[in-house]
Amino acid sequence: MRFDKSFLLIFRRSENEGGERYRRAALTSVFNIASQFLQLATGLISVPLTLNYIGVERFGLWMALSSSLTLLAFSDFGLGIGLQDKLSKSIAVGNKKLAIEFFYTAASFAAILFLLLLLSLLLIPLLNIKNLLSLQTQEAVAEIVPTTQMVVLVIGIGILAGIVQRTFNSLQDGFWIAILQIAARISSLGLLFVAVHFKWGLPALVLIVGGLSSLAIIFFGPVILFRAHPWLFVSKAYKLINSAALLEILKVGSAGLLASVAIYLVNNSIFALISMKYGVAAVTQYSVLNKLLTIPTFFLTYLFLPLWPAISEAKAKNDVAWILSLHLKILKTTLFFSVFTSTLFLIFGKEVVFVWTRNQAVVPDFDLLFASVFFMAIGFWNSLYSTILNGLSRFNGQASYGVLIAISFCLLAWLVPREYSVASIVWVVGGGYALRCVLMWLETRQQLKKLGSSVKHERNI
């Protein structure tokens, strides 16, 4: 094995580049966490504020429909995931021309999807949604159609905002998006009190809580993007739009899409299963607890999220040592976080829910609490492995076994007899979530082993 000056220069450059990646990721993480803290604060405040205003059934309806907003993860046919992957690689190797083509091609396709969703608003009144959700009160029946239309509109706005957000992420400047979200969520929190005071209804609540951040990104994001990276702004950009670039984006994005579908089914099927099996009112107890448990989940997810494009850049530059070092660091972080937060919620979870809501009816029994905490802990490990695999562009495995497991365990949960408690639904779906994470761990281990072998091979040359 031969160490010469050129190798030492490469090693030092790797350290410098790695430090810059950590700096950008840390900056984005700080603002992301602040943004998510405000979102969670809005969610926590909205529960006691709106629960008494709209009642148990309409609150359950709001939670059931709001869970559909996570359709943003795959309603763009994987466009955002594919764009981020392609942009990260193009920028890492200095091919700005190709990056520009990917950006404008993805933006034009997103605009088409938005227009199609606008047209779909006309079809919603023709659907028999009220029977599907087993609605009982007149207020809930009256608001189901306009609320559903607002959810679809917010999803369309989110698709457009997603292109801007993914571009910032690819440039490792995601902190700009977080800053815009912070401003929007402060406004959202204020408007929430106004909406409740003037009784604006569920459609307004959906827009305020779910759509304000996307609107801020659409209106202000492009201005900041083109000022910070003027090379992205091109006159007559329509000439750069081409089917070849779109196919490349969607080729990667389609696998990412299926992986998103799988995680969506895991995280949101519980709301639908409880609603259809026990009635929409039964969703309230689980959704209140779930809002509390999402606090640490969001924290860890948004702590790791900026590392995805950083890993993509490191891989494009063959900086394997940095990737392996990063994996060990976030592995230790996840282990500590899992043990600490799970213990905390198991001991104090019920008391916290009661102090928070002052409503004994929504305090969970220990079975539901234990099942939900288990589900939360599995989510931590999913964040870890998905960060590594997404950064390495390994979407196919998450897509194939992810979708198969999600559908299988959702069907198993549906077959659980109604005599069993709501917690049984959480346990069954959570078991599938755990199996998914085991397979992701095995795939991550295999990929990192390959990367480690490549480093040893290069050093022995």
Give the separation between CA 378 and CA 338, rounded to whole angstroms: 8
**pLDDT at 220 (0 to 100):** 96
Distances (CA, A) of 82 to 111, 155, 248, 338: 16, 18, 8, 30
Give the separation between CA 224 and CA 180, rounded to whole angstroms: 10
Selected residue with higher pLDDT from 89 and 69? 89
Structure confidence by residue, pLDDT tens digits, 253-308: 888 878 877 887 888 788 888 888 887 777 888 888 988 898 898 888 888 988 88
DSSP three-state, residue 132: helix
At 3, is the pLDDT very low, low, confident or very high (cuts 50, 70, 90)? very low
pTM reported for the whole predicted model: 0.73
**pLDDT at 10 (0 to 100):** 37
**pLDDT at 225 (0 to 100):** 95
Give the separation between CA 346 and CA 202, rounded to whole angstroms: 33
Give the separation between CA 79 and CA 88, rounded to whole angstroms: 14
Structure tokens at 317: 């530059």
Does the pLDDT value for residue 14 go beyond 90?
no
Exposure string of 304-342, with b = 16+ CB inside 10 Å and e = fewer, is bbbbbbbbbbbbeeebbbbbeebbeebeeebeebbeebb
Selected residue with higher pLDDT from 133 and 15? 133
Work out the average pLDDT over 101-108: 95
Does the pLDDT value for residue 6 go beyond 60?
no
Structure tokens at 72: 């943003």
Asked whether the beta carbons of 368 and 287 are under 8 A apart, the reply is no
Give the separation between CA 88 and CA 256, rounded to whole angstroms: 15
Q: How many residues does the chain have?
A: 461
Structure confidence by residue, pLDDT tens digits, 327-373: 999 999 999 999 999 999 999 999 998 988 888 888 888 999 999 99
Asked whether the beta carbons of 177 and 217 are under 8 A apart, the reply is yes
**pLDDT at 35 (0 to 100):** 82
At 232, is the pLDDT very low, low, confident or very high (cuts 50, 70, 90)? very high
Does the pLDDT value for residue 233 go beyond 80?
yes
The DSSP result for 360-379, as a single string, is GGGPPPHHHHHHHHHHHHHH
Distances (CA, A) of 69 to 156, 206, 214: 10, 9, 12
Does the pLDDT value for residue 15 go beyond 90?
no
**pLDDT at 115 (0 to 100):** 95
**pLDDT at 11 (0 to 100):** 39
Q: What percent of the chain has pLDDT over 90?
A: 40
Residues 6+ apart with CB under 8 A from 38: 181, 182, 185, 186, 189
Give the separation between CA 101 and CA 451, rounded to whole angstroms: 30
Per 3-state DSSP, the chain is made up of helix, strand and coil in percentages (nearest 5) of 85, 0, 15
Q: How many CB atoms are closer than 10 A to CB 300? A: 23
Give the separation between CA 219 and CA 249, rounded to whole angstroms: 25
Structure confidence by residue, pLDDT tens digits, 163-187: 999 999 999 898 999 999 999 989 9
Return the axis-axis angle of helices 307-316 and 366-391, rounded to nearest 10°.
Answer: 30
Give the separation between CA 237 and CA 101, rounded to whole angstroms: 9
Of the listed ranges 98-107, 115-124, 140-149, the one predicted with least confidence = 140-149
Give the separation between CA 289 and CA 274, rounded to whole angstroms: 14
Torsion, CA 438, CA 440, CA 446, CA 448, rounded to 10: -120
At 72, is the pLDDT very low, low, confident or very high (cuts 50, 70, 90)? low
Selected residue with higher pLDDT from 159 and 75? 159
**pLDDT at 119 (0 to 100):** 94
Structure confidence by residue, pLDDT tens digits, 406-460: 999 999 999 988 888 889 999 999 999 999 999 999 999 999 988 877 655 555 5
